[in-house]
Amino acid sequence: TQLLEQSPQFLSIQEGENLTVYCNSSSVFSSLQWYRQEPGEGPVLLVTVVTGGEVKKLKRLTFQFGDARKDSSLHITAAQPGDTGLYLCAAAVTNDYKLSFGAGTTVTVRA
Amino acid sequence: DAGITQSPRHKVTETGTPVTLRCHQTENHRYMYWYRQDPGHGLRLIHYSYGVKDTDKGEVSDGYSVSRSKTEDFLLTLESATSSQTSVYFCAINQQGVGEKLFFGSGTQLSVL
């Protein structure tokens, strides 16, 4: 059983459309991270959220941490082909010290 | 980019043979991790190290061992490779442990035939 459930598993959209990726769990997290991975490379950190209800913006990407610190979302506005990749959420449960990853959402933005 | 080098980048081996993957860092970070990535499972932690000769198991450690004799090197060994260990292996590092940003290497694609 995956600690972090990501949805959808795959997402294919046209350039200029918006998309949202979700990361959910029944556990409470001390912090949550979002990574983006391109083929043949390791994941690269996009953002870390720490406070319940926190919203962070990174250009066209908006990250939200749930009030109860059990879930998060990533919203991309006006997606571009360069946003194509595998998006992974990762988190540590408050009483644990190991980082767990979701299975990822593969995003394809068509030109 | 963080100075992390994984070697080899690709390897094909036969069932039952020993295999060692190497992770080398030039950042002098305290923590080093080995993950495997498989479709539908995301990244799963195999072993990690919190200092020279200090290591601990992750969630999928069976069939794997690690060693860290120097700060910069973290070795992952498959004592007797099995087909279920076919995967992409990633090394990651950070300085302060869980909750801090992870820097990943480019991965090793291992195929066990």
Q: What is the pLDDT of residues B9-65, one digit of tens each?
A: 999 999 999 999 999 999 999 999 999 999 888 899 999 999 999 999 998 999 999
How far is it, in rounded angstroms, from Cα B74 to Cα B54? 11
Task: Look at the domain A5-95 and name its fold.
Answer: Immunoglobulin-like (2.60.40)
Indicate the Cα dihedral angle B60, A35, A10, B33, nearest 10°. -10
Distance from CA of A68 to the nearest CA of B (A): 18
Please report the domains of chain B, with CATH numbers, ordered by start residue: 4-106 (2.60.40.10)
Count of pairs with CB atoms under 8 A, one residue in A, one in B: 59
d(CA B98, CA B78): 25
- Closest partner CB to B106 (pick from A33, A42, A102): A42
Q: Among A26, A25, A21, A27, which Cα is nearest to A47's?
A: A21
Q: Which two tokens stand for residue B6?
A: 């994984």
Nearest Cα neighbor of A47 from B81, A17, A36 is A36
Copy the structure tokens of residue B18: 């020993």
DSSP, collapsed to helix, strand or coil, labels residue A21 as: strand
CB contacts of B102 in chain A (<8 Å) are 33, 35, 43, 45, 90, 99
Q: How confident is the prediction along chain A (111 residues), in pLDDT tens digits per residue? A: 678 999 999 999 999 999 999 999 988 888 899 999 999 999 999 999 989 999 999 999 999 999 999 999 999 999 999 999 999 999 987 666 678 899 999 999 999
Amino acid found at B66? V
pLDDT of residue A73: 97
Read off the amino acid at residue A15: E
| A41 contacts B106 by C-beta, under 8 angstroms | yes
Biggest CA–CA distance in chain B, Å, is 38
Cβ A92–B99 below 8 Å, yes or no? Answer: yes
Q: How far is A111 from chain B (nearest CA, A)?
A: 26
Q: How far is CA A11 from CA A14, A47, A85, A87, in A?
A: 10, 21, 10, 11
Q: Give the strands of the sheet with A55-58, arranged side by side.
A: A5-7, A19-24, A71-76, A61-65, A55-58
Quick one: pLDDT at residue A95? 60
**Residue extents of the structural domains in chain A:** 5-95
Distance between CA atoms of residues A74 and A39, nearest Å:
20
- Contact status, residue A23 vs residue A73, Cβ threshold 8 Å: yes
**Residue A96 burial (C-beta neighbours within 10 Å; 0-12, 13-18, 19+):** middle
β-strands A10-14, A19-24: how paired?
unpaired
